[in-house]
Structure 1
Amino acid sequence: MQIKESSTMYDVIIVGSGAGGGMATKILADSGLKVAVVEAGPYFDPKDPEQMTQLKWPWESPRRGASTVRPFGDFDSAYGGWDIDGEPYTNKDGSNFRWFRSRMLGGRTNHWGRIALRFGPRDFKRKNEDGLGDNWPIGYEDVRPYYDKVDKLIGVFGTNEGLPNDPDGFFLPPPKPRLHELFYIKGARKSNIPVYPSRLSILTKMINQDRGICFYCAQCSRACMVYADFSAQTCLIIPAQKNGGQIDLFLNAMVREVTTDEEGKATGVSYINKEDRKEYKLKGKVVVLAASACSSARILLNSKSSQHPNGLGNSSDIVGKYLHDSTGASRAAFIPDLMNRKVSYNEDGVGGMHVYSPWWGDNKKLGFPRGYHIEVWGGMGMPNYGFGFNPNEFNKFFGTKVGGYGYGLKDDVKRYYGSVLGFGGRGESIAMKKNYCEIDLTKVDEFGIPVLRFQYKWSDHEHKQVKHMQDTFEELVHNMGGEALGAKPTKEQNYGISPPGWIIHEVGTTRMGNDPKTSVVNKFQQLHDTKNVFIVDAGPFVSQADKNPTWTILALSWRTSDYIVEQLKQQNI
């Protein structure tokens, strides 16, 4: 098969345009380097009238807003999901890993929850506390300057609370709690669970002329037409282009492998153009992988050569190993005191929680390692049938018929509108070598590229942690005078823990370390085996922490980008 090779020599080729790839694009382009960005999906700009879904009604969708095409609803800006036609993956030994991919410029930053939490000092050195997993080769003080820069560049609201492992930052004013969140605060305080303003990457005041301010439509998942919330393309890539950055976008381009020369040094990437199904090659001095933890591992494992017979960067046989995702569990409850609410005011707020609870427990007393934070949802969202109550659940509790058609349905909707509140726990799992992804040599995707196969099972550590979540949720519901909807998950149901991958926080497949025999990249996310290849997604994470990973991806990508610029100037790569 003939492969068309570009004659352009790029300073840097970046694979992926999400948090890590977007940040690398901006920093490297702003430094005067010529950058190629290779993205597996199409161009996306939420300001474009043809692509904008914000402020549309359910009836404007042929599916009435349902999630039959996009997993988070027809208006969600996620092009992709856990299952994509023509792009399969497999599981082995009874595993049920669920792999979410977002094929679009900006990647998964278009529809994430915008929860922007820093890892704390303890999060980088957890092995010192419980002996599990490994410490990072870097600490909080190494990353702190870049967290500060990300706060100031992108914007995050919140408050400085002086918490030792939930570090303070540079915060915009947070929105006030809504009524359901005031009920949560009251219930949490009865159990001595702390509650603080959330830390979300949404602008509550102007920070530059390129972006607007949140107007409380609560539709961040649709991507913001005024760029008030953070997405990689709207806040990093597009501004870098406007500032004169030398950036070429290669869209709908599925990367097959990183190409190498006879010395094993990277020379660029090979990709399949989704539109003409032909293979192309780009040439670059440096290759930066930011395709997501599992996608970057897949590219490395498929990049085999005589110099790298086990896959690029895989002399240690660690690529794909130590895969781990956040734990997740949830409950919902009916709060009678929230019935019959007046709806003559706008309580939408931002597209996410206004308050949250960081981890508060003492693991030595609780009998399980690590912790979790609690996310809260509720309020008066867009009404639709079944939007906030399940008639069967209400009938079970109250012995009345709820729902139906016509005026009866309207009356029930008005009575129960805004009376349901829910919790989500998001916790830290333990990174283990036995949880991994590998190449399935028996299967290829529609582009002829071998797919990934997953081996992943939760351990007793995670099950005990999620049991604590469920016990806590029950207590919170009781404190609020509510009625839990649905039965409490049992031990036989693994306490309702989400399948691995379901929380979409997968990390650790190209772990960072000082020893090339037990890690894939060094402390600057540079391959031990090939000095001109870097990884700036969540693959290098040694551990997850009980926080969402995006803010740390952004900070580490900026740190790595500065290092790349320095190394190019010194002609070390």
Structure 2
Amino acid sequence: MQIKESSEVYDVIIVGSGAGGGMATKQLADAGLNVAVVEAGPFFDPKDPKTMTQLKWAYDSPRRGAGTDRAFGEWDMSWGDWEVEGEPYTHEEGTEFKWWRARMLGGRTNHWGRISLRFGPKDFKGKSHDGYGEDWPIGYDDVKPYYDKTEKLIGVFGSKEGLPNDPDGFFLPPPKPRLHELFYINGAKKSGIPVIPGRLSMLTKKINEDRGVCFYCGQCGRSCSVYADFSAGSCLIFPAQKNGGKVKLFVNCMVREVTTNDEGKATGVSYINKEDRREYKLRGKVVVLAASACSTARILLNSKSKQHPNGLGNSSDLVGHYLHDSTGASAAGFIPGLMNRKVSYNEDGVGGMHVYSPWWGDHSKLDFPRGYHIEVWGGMSNPNYGFAWNPNDFNKFFGLKVGGYGDQLRDDVKKYYGSVIGFGGRGESVARKENYCEIDPTTVDQFGIPVLKFNYKHSDLEIKQAKHMQDTFEELIHNMGGEPLGEKPGKDKDYGLLAPGQIIHEVGTTRMGKDPKTSVTNEFQQLHDVDNVFITDAGPFTSQADKNCTLTILALSWRASDYIIEQLKKQNI
């Protein structure tokens, strides 16, 4: 089949338009470079009336907002899923991994929780503190200037708390706690668990003319039509285009491989156009892979040549290894004190937590090495069908006669809705070489591209951490005068530990390090083997922290972009 090759040679080709790809686009285009962005999904702008779902009621939908082909409900801007039609992935027998693929301009940043937490000094040097895993080749002080700049650029609300491993930043005013969060604060206080304002990338104050200010509709998962919350498209890519940057978008284009020349240097990428199913080649001086940790590993492993027989950047045979996701476990409780709510003010708030609990534990007294934070949910936000209030739960677990039809149903909804508080623990797992993804030699996707095969198991360390989560949640519910909703998962169910991949924080497949034999990229996320290929997603993370990874992806992408600009000026790449 004839492959059509572009005549234009771009300064930089960026694969992926999420956090890492979006930040690289902004910084490189603002520096005057000619940038091509290749995205596997369609164009998306939350301000477009054709796609805008914000401020619509559940009854505006024939399915009352229930999820059909969207994992998080019909209104959620999640054009993707753990299962994507025509794009399978496989597993080694006896293992489990759920791989989320976002398919839209802006990627996962259109529908993430927007929790923006800095990694702390200990998070970059985990092995030095507890002996597990490996230290990063960089430290907090190397990333701090980029955290500072990123927070100022995207806008993050929060408060200065002076916690040693939860560094303060440049914060906008945080919203006040809602009623269910006040109950949580009182319950946590009884157990000595700290509670501080959440740190989310939502504008509670005007920062520029391109973006509006949050008006507390609580629908950030629908993607904000006034650009008050952070998404890579609306806050990075569109401004780069508006400011005169040379940015060309190639949407609905699935990258097959990075192309190379006889010297083994990258010359561009090959992709399948989803609309005409033909293969094309783009030419570029530098290639930046930001397709997500696993997708980038897949592209590298499929980029085989005479010079790179094991896959591009894979002389160490470590591409795909050290894959790890945040740990996750949850619980919920019925709090009688929250019954019969008088709705006299707007309690929606932002689309996420107004408060949370950073890690507080003393590992010298615990049987697992890494911590977790607690995310809190509840309140009286606009529900979709099947979400937020299930009378069967009240009947089953509390012996309450709830629900029915007509007036009884309406009265019970008013009585009980908003009386449930839930908790999500999000923690750090230890990166292990034996958790990895590789190319499945027997399976291809609908575009003829070989797919990934996953081999992943939780260790006892993560399971013990989940037990601590469940014990803590049980104590918090008791402190609030509540009753647990559902049965507490035991050892036979790994204490409710979610399958790896379900938290959608996967990192580590192209980890950074100083030694090319034990790592894939250097400290600037540049392939050891190929100096004009960089990775700006979460693949280069040496370890995950007990924090969400997006803010660190953004900061490190900016840092790598500055390095690319510097190296191009010096004609080193």
The aligned counterpart of 2:40 is 40
Number of aligned residue pairs: 573
Shift of 1:392: 2.8
Contact 2:289/2:536 (<8 A) preserved? yes
Corresponding letter in the other structure for 1:110: N
Residues 197-240 of structure 1, C-alpha deviations (whole Å, 9 max, x = no match): 00000000000000000000000000000000000010000001
Between the aligned partners of 1:438 and 1:356, the Cα distance in structure 2 is 36
Displaced runs of 4+ in structure 1, greater than 6 A? none
The aligned counterpart of 2:182 is 182
Between the aligned partners of 1:154 and 1:345, the Cα distance in structure 2 is 29
Corresponding letter in the other structure for 2:546: D
Contact 2:288/2:534 (<8 A) preserved? yes
Between the aligned partners of 1:400 and 1:233, the Cα distance in structure 2 is 47
Mapping for residues 116-515 of structure 1, pairs under 5 Å: 116-384=116-384, 386-515=386-515
1:385–1:74 CA distance, 2 compared to 1 (3 A): closer
What secondary structure is seen at the aligned counterpart in 2 of 1:284?
Answer: strand
Between the aligned partners of 1:345 and 1:5, the Cα distance in structure 2 is 59
Residues 139-160 of structure 1, C-alpha deviations (whole Å, 9 max, x = no match): 0000000000001111000001
1:385–1:552 CA distance, 2 compared to 1 (3 A): closer
What secondary structure is seen at the aligned counterpart in 1 of 2:291?
Answer: coil
Corresponding letter in the other structure for 1:322: Y
Contact 1:512/1:540 (<8 A) preserved? yes
- RMSD of Structure 2 on Structure 1 (CA): 0.8
Contact 1:391/1:403 (<8 A) preserved? yes
Residues 71-113 of structure 1, C-alpha deviations (whole Å, 9 max, x = no match): 0110111111100000000111211100001100000000000
1:398–1:294 CA distance, 2 compared to 1 (3 A): closer
The aligned counterpart of 1:533 is 533
Between the aligned partners of 2:397 and 2:138, the Cα distance in structure 1 is 52
Corresponding letter in the other structure for 1:177: P
Contact 1:288/1:535 (<8 A) preserved? yes
Corresponding letter in the other structure for 2:294: C
Between the aligned partners of 2:385 and 2:82, the Cα distance in structure 1 is 25
Between the aligned partners of 1:14 and 1:398, the Cα distance in structure 2 is 54
Q: Does 1:100 align with 2:116?
A: no
Q: Any gaps of 5 or more consecutive residues in structure 1?
A: none
What secondary structure is seen at the aligned counterpart in 2 of 1:272?
Answer: strand
Contact 2:65/2:385 (<8 A) preserved? no
Contact 1:388/1:419 (<8 A) preserved? no
Corresponding letter in the other structure for 1:49: P
- TM-score normalised by L of structure 1: 0.99
Contact 1:135/1:542 (<8 A) preserved? yes
Shift of 1:60: 1.9
Shift of 1:364: 1.4
What secondary structure is seen at the aligned counterpart in 2 of 1:320?
Answer: coil
1:100–1:389 CA distance, 2 compared to 1 (3 A): same
Q: Any gaps of 5 or more consecutive residues in structure 2?
A: none
The aligned counterpart of 1:523 is 523
Between the aligned partners of 1:551 and 1:56, the Cα distance in structure 2 is 30
Contact 2:65/2:384 (<8 A) preserved? no
Between the aligned partners of 1:386 and 1:343, the Cα distance in structure 2 is 22
Q: Does 1:554 align with 2:557?
A: no
Shift of 1:275: 0.2
Shift of 1:377: 0.2
What secondary structure is seen at the aligned counterpart in 1 of 2:439?
Answer: strand
Residues 545-571 of structure 1, C-alpha deviations (whole Å, 9 max, x = no match): 000000000000000000000000000
1:216–1:381 CA distance, 2 compared to 1 (3 A): same
Contact 1:25/1:237 (<8 A) preserved? yes
What secondary structure is seen at the aligned counterpart in 2 of 1:268?
Answer: strand
Between the aligned partners of 2:257 and 2:98, the Cα distance in structure 1 is 23
Residues 305-334 of structure 1, C-alpha deviations (whole Å, 9 max, x = no match): 000000000000000000000000000111
Residues 261-297 of structure 1, C-alpha deviations (whole Å, 9 max, x = no match): 0000000000000000000000000000000000000
Residues 406-442 of structure 1, C-alpha deviations (whole Å, 9 max, x = no match): 1111111010021111000000000000000000010
What secondary structure is seen at the aligned counterpart in 2 of 1:373?
Answer: strand
Between the aligned partners of 1:185 and 1:504, the Cα distance in structure 2 is 27
Shift of 1:117: 0.2
The aligned counterpart of 1:78 is 78
Shift of 1:385: 5.3
Corresponding letter in the other structure for 1:416: Y
What secondary structure is seen at the aligned counterpart in 1 of 2:329?
Answer: strand
1:85–1:384 CA distance, 2 compared to 1 (3 A): closer
Between the aligned partners of 2:392 and 2:563, the Cα distance in structure 1 is 58
Residues 356-380 of structure 1, C-alpha deviations (whole Å, 9 max, x = no match): 0000001111111100000000000
Shift of 1:344: 2.8
Residues 241-267 of structure 1, C-alpha deviations (whole Å, 9 max, x = no match): 000000000000000000000000000
The aligned counterpart of 1:17 is 17
Corresponding letter in the other structure for 1:514: K
What secondary structure is seen at the aligned counterpart in 1 of 2:181?
Answer: helix
Q: Does 465-474 or 60-69 show the bigger shift? A: 60-69
What secondary structure is seen at the aligned counterpart in 2 of 1:296?
Answer: helix
Shift of 1:58: 1.4
What secondary structure is seen at the aligned counterpart in 2 of 1:126?
Answer: helix
1:18–1:144 CA distance, 2 compared to 1 (3 A): same
Between the aligned partners of 2:220 and 2:4, the Cα distance in structure 1 is 40
Contact 2:6/2:282 (<8 A) preserved? yes
Corresponding letter in the other structure for 1:197: P
Contact 2:444/2:451 (<8 A) preserved? yes
Corresponding letter in the other structure for 1:308: H
Contact 1:537/1:553 (<8 A) preserved? yes
Between the aligned partners of 1:518 and 1:41, the Cα distance in structure 2 is 34
Between the aligned partners of 1:520 and 1:540, the Cα distance in structure 2 is 8
Corresponding letter in the other structure for 1:69: D
Identity across aligned pairs (percent)?
A: 78
What secondary structure is seen at the aligned counterpart in 1 of 2:129?
Answer: helix
What secondary structure is seen at the aligned counterpart in 2 of 1:287?
Answer: strand
Between the aligned partners of 2:398 and 2:164, the Cα distance in structure 1 is 45
Contact 2:341/2:418 (<8 A) preserved? yes
Between the aligned partners of 1:36 and 1:397, the Cα distance in structure 2 is 55
Between the aligned partners of 1:49 and 1:389, the Cα distance in structure 2 is 30
